[in-house]
Amino acid sequence: MRVLLLASFCLSWLLPSLGSDEPIRIGIVGLDTSHVIAFTKQFNDPDNPKHVRGGRVVAAYKGGSPDIASSADRIDGFTETLVNDFGVTLYEDISSLCQNVDAILLESVDGRKHLEQARPIFEAGLPVFIDKPVAGSLRDAIKIFQLAEDSGTPCWSASSLRFRPGVASVASADAGEVRGAFSYGPASIEPTHPDLFWYGIHPTEALFTVLGSGCISVVRTHTDDTDIVTGIWKDGKVGVVYGQRNQKTGFKVIKFGTKKIVEQAEGGDYTEMLEAIIDFFKTGHPPVSAADTLEIYAFMEAADESKRRNGAPVTLEEVFKMARP
């Protein structure tokens, strides 16, 4: 498996606000997710008890996907809130947006749009965080990170669960020799995307945060209400994602070791991830590598392939081969 790593970035793109008290001017691409309101509130409102310093959302490109209800039904309301409550300036195209900001949050809820929308960002050389899902297919995810590397543009993607203190505590806890982990959470499906890309990314990323990279094969059991995806790691660890639909559930990841079992504590929000984003905008160093993110998406793509094969095992090497041009 060829590992895609972002190149070491030259310092020519460094933000003009570095070394000053001026906040980083953040631009948002895609206004059809609740994240754009939640993130802007934490960045822009100093009276917010969860205020994250160092950046300010100042401009945006609306975007939108008429064939996805959660985009079409909400984008106008989110756009009005950003403009009226936070004074965000709208631009007609992404290239114009990039000329008036220092960094980008690519927030379009539709991962299919991300490759096309990332191109002008990479051409402008602006550091970019790509919200989940990083793309609408593993093939596009590979292309995105390859373009980022080729252009020398700092880029990364992650679920916010990776940064929740409860998940981080499970990952760092000494449980002895780690034998496996179990991660559960909501896993609603959007027909335009691979099944786990839409919301199953959250429990999947929590699983990988705890177990690390090294998954080699996946088996999936699927019903209308539940997905059980079991991965085998090259060192023998077993990781399970238990995705639930049509039932009330939160998120939790549990680590199994030879000394003890460690469970995630409840609670958490976007704060730690937003702090990581600001640090990334300042330094150009992604906290999650392209290789680690691509393995997560290969795991989810292999889960879809296993479903198509009636629950047969599928290797990540195989789905990487199918996805690469």
pLDDT tens per residue, range 248-293:
889 999 999 999 999 999 899 999 999 999 999 999 999 999 999 9
User: Do 195 and 304 contact (CB within 8 A), yes or no?
Assistant: yes
Q: Once rounded to an integer, what is the mean pLDDT over residues 140-157?
A: 98
Q: What is the largest CA-CA distance in the chain?
A: 57
Binned at pLDDT 50, 70 and 90, residue 18 comes out as very low
> Could you tell me whether strands 24-29 and 55-61 are parallel, antiparallel, or unpaired per DSSP bridges?
parallel
Other C-beta atoms closer than 10 Å to the C-beta of 225 total 11
Say whether pLDDT at 13 is over 50: no
Q: What is the mean pLDDT of residues 309-321?
A: 98
For residues 48-53, average pLDDT: 97
Give the C-alpha separation, 35 to 266, whole Å. Answer: 21
Give residue 247's pLDDT band: very low, low, confident or very high (50, 70, 90).
Answer: confident
Query: Backbone phi, then psi, for 26, in 5-degree steps?
Result: -100, 135
d(CA 50, CA 44): 11
- Over residues 52-71, mean pLDDT: 97
Question: Model confidence at 120, in pLDDT bands (50, 70, 90)?
Answer: very high
Which tens digits make up the pLDDT trace of 163-196?
Answer: 999 999 999 999 999 999 999 999 999 999 999 9
For residues 97 and 11, which has the higher predicted lDDT (pLDDT)? 97
Q: Please state, for a pLDDT cut of 70, what percent of the chain lies above it.
A: 94
| pLDDT on residue 15 | 52
Residue with tokens 């629950």: 311
Residue 94 to residue 91: CA distance in whole angstroms: 7
pLDDT at 309: 98
Task: Please state, rounded to an integer, the average pLDDT across all residues of the chain.
Answer: 94
Residue 7 pLDDT class (50, 70, 90 cuts): very low
In the chain, the domains with their CATH numbers are 11-160+270-287 (3.40.50.720), 161-268+299-323 (3.30.360.10)
* Residue 20 pLDDT: 59
CA distance 100 to 65: 24
- What does the pLDDT read at residue 6? 38
